[in-house]
């Protein structure tokens, strides 16, 4: 194993409380588009001449639901057409080995749950794509895949209003329960924080690394590009999570076997 990865694996072994923060870069290796950055599908403007932050906003869902759903459907189709990759799976296995290892994800694809990350240590801060629900009458609809093949936007079969996914669109508030879980755990502190495949442009994504750095914890970034938290990282790996985490896991597993 490379010396830097070996030192990082040793730090993970020694740590009790670990937070892994994941962004679109992790799921990009499953074939999903990122909003921006390397190979971003929506750099600049969409086909409709507006930034993706406008197209996928709560205001657009209200004013022009067909346009908003055009891009929600692209994301939904991509998520349904791919699977968790070795990075997701290695993170889930690491959580199985470390009972105080948490995942904070910006991703809405649900791949951490599919890979086996325990829901009681998974914070999906931007929500998820399913099930769809009606704000007007509260009806839920589990048929995301089927709905994407029908005319958009999908309408509630009970009252005819536009359905939406339980995801945080641009301009909307984060889910209260997820925010409360995050800050409850941040209050307990983390010995080691890893940022994976995220630009960390939101304060609540960068904050855990800032807190860990101030308290003397270990900070790590796994990202192909420099980000707003790169200078905070004790370990910086310009590699894909798909490659890094399985290698780390193999060393940690071997250490546990030899104990």
* Catalytic hit among 88, 112, 126, 251: 126
Q: Which residue has the higher pLDDT, 36 or 168?
A: 168
Q: What is the C-alpha separation between 71 and 48, in angstroms, rounded?
A: 10
Instruction: Say if residue 1's pLDDT is above 70.
Output: no
Q: How far apart are CA 7 and CA 241, in angstroms?
A: 17
Nearest-angstrom CA–CA distance, 235 and 184 = 26
pLDDT band at 32 (very low <50, low <70, confident <90, very high): confident
Residue 126 annotated in active site: yes
pLDDT over 70, % of the chain: 93
What whole-number distance in Å separates Cα of residue 209 and Cα of residue 205? 8
Domains of the chain, CATH where assigned: 3-31+84-127+174-258 (3.40.50.1220)
DSSP assignments along 126-157, one per residue: TB-S-SEEETTT--EE--HHHHHTSSSS-B-T
Note the pLDDT tens digit of each residue in 89-118: 999 999 999 999 999 999 999 999 999 999
Cα-Cα-Cα-Cα dihedral sign, residues 167, 173, 178, 183: positive
DSSP states of 40-52 as a string?
BTTSSB-TTSSBH
pLDDT in tens, 201-247: 899 999 999 999 999 999 999 999 999 899 999 999 999 999 999 99
User: What is the side-by-side order of every strand in the sheet holding 132-134?
Assistant: 140-141, 132-134, 163-164
Among the residues of the chain, which ranges form H helices? 3-14, 24-28, 52-55, 58-63, 65-80, 86-97, 111-115, 144-148, 176-188, 203-214, 241-258
Q: pLDDT averaged over the chain? A: 91
Stretch among 25-29, 119-123, 222-226 having the lowest mean pLDDT: 25-29
């Amino acid at each position: 194993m490379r010396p830097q990865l070996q030192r990082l694996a040793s730090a993970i072994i020694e740590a009790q409380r670990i937070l892994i923060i994941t962004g679109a870069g992790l799921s990009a290796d499953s074939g999903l588009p990122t909003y921006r950055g390397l190979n971003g599908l929506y750099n600049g403007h969409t086909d409709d001449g507006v930034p993706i932050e406008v197209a996928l906003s709560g205001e657009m869902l209200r004013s022009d639901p067909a346009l908003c759903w055009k891009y929600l459907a692209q994301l939904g189709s991509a998520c349904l057409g791919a699977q968790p990759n070795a990075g997701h799976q290695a993170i889930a296995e690491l959580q199985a080995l470390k009972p105080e290892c948490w995942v904070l994800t910006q991703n809405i694809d649900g791949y951490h749950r599919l890979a086996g990350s325990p829901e009681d240590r998974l914070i999906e801060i931007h929500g998820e794509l399913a099930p769809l629900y009606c704000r007007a009458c509260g009806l839920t609809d589990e048929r995301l895949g089927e709905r994407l093949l029908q005319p958009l936007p999908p309408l509630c079969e009970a009252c005819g209003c536009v359905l939406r996914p339980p995801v945080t669109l641009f301009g909307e508030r984060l889910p209260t329960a997820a925010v409360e879980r995050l800050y409850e755990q941040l209050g307990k502190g983390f010995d080691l924080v890893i940022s994976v495949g995220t630009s960390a442009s939101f304060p609540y994504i960068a904050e855990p690394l800032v807190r860990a750095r101030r308290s003397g914890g270990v900070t790590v970034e796994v990202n192909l590009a420099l980000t707003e938290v790169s200078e905070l990282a004790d370990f910086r790996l310009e590699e894909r999570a798909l490659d890094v985490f399985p290698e780390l896991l193999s060393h940690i597993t071997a250490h546990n076997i030899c104990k």
